[in-house]
Amino acid sequence: MTLLHGYWRSSAAYRLRIALNLKGIEFDQSSVNLKDGHQREEAHKALHPQGFVPVLNIDGEQLIQSPAILEYLEEIRPEPPLLPGSAAERSRLRAYAAVIGCDIHPVQNLRILQYLRKELGQDADGVTAWCQRWISDGLAALEKMAEADNRSGPYLWGDTPTMADVYLVPQLYNARRFGVDMGAFPRLAAADEAARAHPAFEDARPENQPDAPEDGH
C-alpha cells in the first residue's frame, strides 16, 4: 500500500498527488492538520524529523522532502516521464522546479507566515504584501525562462505534463490565493489552465481532498 501523509492545502503534498496520479500509482492519504499543529506532534516527527509534510510510504520505504520523492517516483516509474528529453533539457526542467521549490515556496509556507504574524506583528495586509512580493518576483523570473525556451505548449514544456507543471500548478494556486496579478505572467497562466484541465491535476486539487474543509478555508 502507498500512503501519503499530507495536508489538503500543502503545496508540497499537492505536487506529490499530481505526480502519483500522472504515474498511475494508487495511494491512500493520512491527514496531518498543519493548521492545528499536528505536524509538531512527536508521532509525526517520528516520520519526518523536521515536522513537515509530505511523507510517502511506498514499496516499504518511508520518504520525505517532495523534490527527493518526485525524483524517486521518476526512477521507479519512468513512464510517463516527468523529466523527458536530453540531459540539458532535464536540467532545464529541474531549474523550473527549483525556482518554485527553492526560491518561491519556502518563504510563503505556513511556518513563515505564522512567524510574520506572531513574532513580527504583521497584520493580514502585511502578510499578503510579503507573499505577493516574493511570489511575483519568482514568477517573473519563471515567465522569462518560459519566454526564452518558447515551447509550443499547451503545458509549460510542451504537449505533455512534466515536472515543471507538477511544481507550477500548486504554486499558482497559492498565487491566486494571495491575490497575485496573473495578468503579468501569460505563459505561466496558460500552462496552468491547461494542466488544471488534466484529470491527474483535477483529482489532486486541494478542494477535492478528503480532509478539505467544506468552506475551503
- Name the residue ranges covered by the structural domains of the chain: 3-80, 87-201
The three cell numbers of residue 6 are 499530507
Q: What is the pLDDT of residues 143-154, one digit of tens each?
A: 999 999 999 989
- What is the pLDDT, as a whole number, of residue 192? 98
Residue 215 has pLDDT above 80, yes or no: no
Specify the CATH number of the domain 87-201: 1.20.1050.10
Would you say residue 198 has pLDDT above 80?
A: yes
Q: What percent of the chain has pLDDT over 70?
A: 99
What are the C-alpha distances in Å from 24 to residues 2, 18, 60?
A: 12, 10, 18
With a cut of 90, say whether residue 157 has pLDDT above it.
yes
The cell 504537449 sits on which residue? 159
- On the question of a common fold for 3-80 and 87-201, the answer reads no
pLDDT in tens, 175-190: 999 999 999 999 999 9
CA dist., res. 66 & res. 71, Å (int): 9
Q: What is the mean pLDDT of residues 168-178?
A: 97
Digit-coded pLDDT (tens) for 81-103: 999 999 999 999 999 999 999 99
Amino acid letter for position 107: V
Mean pLDDT across the stretch 34-59?
94
Q: Which CATH superfamily is domain 3-80 in?
A: Glutaredoxin (3.40.30.10)
Residue 214: predicted pLDDT: 80
